[in-house]
Structure 1
Amino acid sequence: MSLTSNYPPTSRVGYVLKRYPRYSETFIVNEILAHEAVGQEIEIFALRPVEETHFQDQLGKVRAPVTRLRDRFSGPEPFWQRLSAACEEQPAALNVLSKLDGIVSGQDVAQALDLAVEVRQRGVTHLHAHFGTVATSVARLAAAMAGIGYSFTAHAKDIYHEYSAPQHLDLKFRDADMAVTVSDYNLKYLRDTFAAPRAVRVYNGLDLERFSWTPPKAHAAEILAVGRLVEKKGFHFLIEALRIMRSEGRDVTCRIVGAGDEEDHLRAQIAESDLADYIQLEGPRPQAEVIELMRNAAVLACPCVVGSDGNRDGLPTVLLEAMAIGLPVISTDVVGIPELVRNRDTGLLVPEGDADALATALVEVIGDPDLRQDLSQRARALIERDFDITKSAGALRAIFAKSIERRNRKQVA
């Protein structure tokens, strides 16, 4: 399938998200803003309550209305009311429910009934979900009830994590008009594992005007890391690398921006390594502050690993942001990262979980201003070519439009 990067707006599209907003999911906000910049009408449907305590500053620019579907249900009467309302708006709803394949929960069904009604009332002609878990489960069922198409973006955790309950990605790929994933590594895995012929790769993108390039500062020495404090980010290996650097008598200054379940463990590791004076856990910060930290740092460390539960990163957005801005990056050879961080071309790659190799790479990059300049320039060129959000969003609109056109032709026939 050919994806046109400058595809114009199509009719109204509904974005189905488990939670909205989420501090770490800046890629979704970037995508919606890029659609709206060319006049694409978006409706956002959130399935679960907001749990965040911090929000990115770009959220205020999103114009799309947010509908928070009810997520708690009790007794048969409310369910019957939902079913009656859905069947009144969408006569096909009852037929869809009679053919349920057992892969959705009662909560999914109830929310899909509500979503099908909202779709009809708001004139939504296509649904797109992010992550192939609950959001896609609800979008799949609601789209069938409403007689429209759906697509979804599979990222990383939804592909590789070992969930306690099966996610039935095979059926979701089968029924989706199109499916998207964010790296060629993912695409090959999905096609090999799920026989997903309608899956395509569309990279996440950035607003390159906001993330303008400046050359790295020659005398910068600070190491920066940004991300949720969870196992797959590999920050425990970064702390060990910094301990190694200190043991060799090297100066170390590092900031780690983010929050998460591993914070107490990381603090304990920092204390045990006698690094409290050298590593600062900053907590979450607005994106504007993170950008400023990037402009003053020497290197971004992104030591991603495959978690013990199979969870892993696809293409961390923070790598895109740092490379766009001009900050040299060091990361690991996990999943699709080598498509972005090309060793000694657009950044440095080290084996996952190898603290010694990470320490060596950090020392090299910090100590070689010419290397940092070269990496920075080549990284920006790659971002401009392959990770511009206007191109990525246009490719998605092409998917939406082709789905709508195909279904309209079927109805006419």
Structure 2
Amino acid sequence: MSAPVRRKVVIVVKGYPRLSETFIAQEIRGLELAGLELVIVALRHPTDRKRHAVHGEITAPVHYLPEYLHREPIRVMRAVWSGLRRPGMRGLWSDFLADLRRDPSRNRVRRLGQALVLAAEWPEGAGWLHAHFIHTPASVAEYAARIVGLPWTVSAHAKDIWTSPDWDLQRKLRAARWTVTCTASGHRHLQQLAGPASARVNLSYHGLNLERFPPHVDDRPARDGQQADDPVRLISVGRLVPKKGYDFLLEALALLPADLSWRFVHAGGGDVTALRAQAARLGLSAHIDWRGALDQAEVLALYRRSDIFALACRVTSDGDRDGLPNVLVEAASQGLTCVSTSISGIPELFSDGENGLLVPAEDPTALAQALEKAIRHPEMRRVLGAAAQQKVRKTLDYHVSVAQLVDLFEKEWTQTA
């Protein structure tokens, strides 16, 4: 391995590319434009059929680790043999066994195997590791960093924060050179767990590439739900997973007064079977259009044709939740009235009645009342949407978050020069 170059960074991600992780792709592109040389290392191959335009702009090479160790035994055994001869493996082995006692799972073994492969196939000249998500990718990054003797850092987001055990988070927060996270609620939680390392936990909102989401300046039609031939257009964008609360959203739509004319469009990946069945039971099928996964340009076109954005985020039984969903930021950038729930980082962008409508999670009645209010009052929608668009454009430009990351890297490189 040649001498490491600090400005050449290995970015460890769970899967790449992913439609649902636009914020990661735009950050990677932003770091490239800021002058960093990057190598993307993915733990899984892509499953999405579509890609966003930003994926085609990224120039970093992509290196895929074995998704399952038993499928590439020769590659894994070569990596194990290589790792056993490295000084860093001695200290790591006892720590890994301690991790394994607390988490006796195949996934834990897979993390070490993937780290060994990454160390054995280390990109020429790379001098730093940065992981996106503090659960599995950070474990692989930490183990690999120990093996090759280089520093590592991590971006923590939502599910990874709230579904990881405290012991795992505490150790990683104290081992990483620094951590960034994207909501104030997540930041507070991680700082509490970090203890002496709390000053190394940083808050950095993802923001949005506003060049891809230019301002929506045209007046929307003043639809009020009274014209059957011109219904109010509702949209939601998100993966069909429990934390998005689409079952509760369907219940809320079923509670809307029969005299209101509306149509709901959903865009996002996932198995729609159960939700289609629920919509049929509730008598909603004729009102709903399930579009499936779409790329960013297609989603933008839907925002511009819609009147209201709805997302019924919730906290699941295992603690999983959103942070500040990027789709809410996107919708707000287009002057849409957003109706959502008051969990996690959502109230960090929206104030109820000022630039959006927020209701308690898992409360279909309250959600139906907010939706009815938004449907019946187009002037209110205009005011709320304009305020939301203004806030996004003033405070959530992704160039700010990229600059914060570059500054964190530069400070470390200066100190260790």
| TM-score (structure 1 length as normaliser) | 0.89
**Equivalent-residue separation in structure 2 for 1:76 and 1:282 (angstroms):** 40
Distance verdict in 2 for CA 1:99–1:359, change over 3 Å: same
**Equivalent residues in 2 for 1:42-191 (5 A)?**
42-74=38-70, 79=76, 81-86=78-83, 91-102=86-97, 103=99, 105-119=108-122, 121-161=123-163, 168-191=168-191
How far did residue 170 of structure 1 move? 1.0
**Equivalent-residue separation in structure 2 for 1:30 and 1:231 (angstroms):** 26
| Residues 146-155 or 191-200, more deviating | 191-200
- 1:55-78 deviations in whole A, cap 9, x for unaligned? 333311111100112344359976
**Equivalent-residue separation in structure 2 for 1:331 and 1:66 (angstroms):** 36
| Residues 337-346 or 367-376, more deviating | 367-376
**Equivalent-residue separation in structure 2 for 1:167 and 1:321 (angstroms):** 35
- Return 5+ residue gaps in structure 2 as ranges: 101-107, 224-231
Structure 1 runs (4+) deviating above 6 angstroms are none
Find the counterpart in structure 1 of residue 103 from structure 2.
none
How far did residue 86 of structure 1 move? 4.5
Identity in percent? 36
**Contact 2:133-2:155 within 8 A present in 1 as well:** yes
Matched, 1:218 2:221: yes
Matched, 1:25 2:36: no
- 1:380-411 deviations in whole A, cap 9, x for unaligned? 22212321111101111122222333333xxx
Distance verdict in 2 for CA 1:19–1:297, change over 3 Å: same
**Equivalent-residue separation in structure 1 for 2:15 and 2:305 (angstroms):** 33
| Residues 228-237 or 94-103, more deviating | 94-103
**Contact 2:169-2:193 within 8 A present in 1 as well:** no
- 1:308-327 deviations in whole A, cap 9, x for unaligned? 22211111010011111222
Find the counterpart in structure 2 of residue 207 from structure 1.
209
- 1:117-166 deviations in whole A, cap 9, x for unaligned? 444x4221221111111110010111122222111111111111267xx8
Find the counterpart in structure 2 of residue 3 from structure 1.
none
**Equivalent-residue separation in structure 2 for 1:398 and 1:111 (angstroms):** 29
Find the counterpart in structure 1 of residue 343 from structure 2.
334
Give the letter for the 2:89 counterpart: L
Match of 1:249 among 242, 252, 259: 259
**Contact 2:88-2:149 within 8 A present in 1 as well:** no
- 1:266-304 deviations in whole A, cap 9, x for unaligned? 111110111111011111112111100000100100110
**Equivalent-residue separation in structure 2 for 1:168 and 1:365 (angstroms):** 43
| Residues 186-195 or 18-27, more deviating | 186-195
| Residues 367-376 or 278-287, more deviating | 367-376
Find the counterpart in structure 2 of residue 274 from structure 1.
283
**Equivalent-residue separation in structure 1 for 2:163 and 2:294 (angstroms):** 27
How far did residue 79 of structure 1 move? 4.9
SS at the partner of 2:7? Answer: coil
Taking only aligned residues, the RMSD between alpha carbons, in angstroms, comes to 2.3
Tell me: higher relative CO, structure 1 or 2? Use CA pairs within 8 A at least 6 residues apart. Answer: 1
**Equivalent-residue separation in structure 1 for 2:396 and 2:247 (angstroms):** 29
Distance verdict in 2 for CA 1:209–1:218, change over 3 Å: same
- 1:83-120 deviations in whole A, cap 9, x for unaligned? 443477xx43333434434326332222212222444x
**Contact 2:183-2:324 within 8 A present in 1 as well:** yes
**Contact 1:154-1:182 within 8 A present in 2 as well:** yes
- Return 5+ residue gaps in structure 1 as ranges: 1-8, 409-413
SS at the partner of 1:371? Answer: helix
How far did residue 328 of structure 1 move? 1.7
**Equivalent residues in 2 for 1:296-307 (5 A)?**
296-307=305-316
How far did residue 226 of structure 1 move? 0.7
Give the letter for the 2:95 counterpart: L
**Contact 2:19-2:295 within 8 A present in 1 as well:** no
Give the letter for the 1:228 counterpart: R
Residue-pair matches, total = 393
| Residues 394-403 or 222-231, more deviating | 394-403
Distance verdict in 2 for CA 1:76–1:21, change over 3 Å: closer
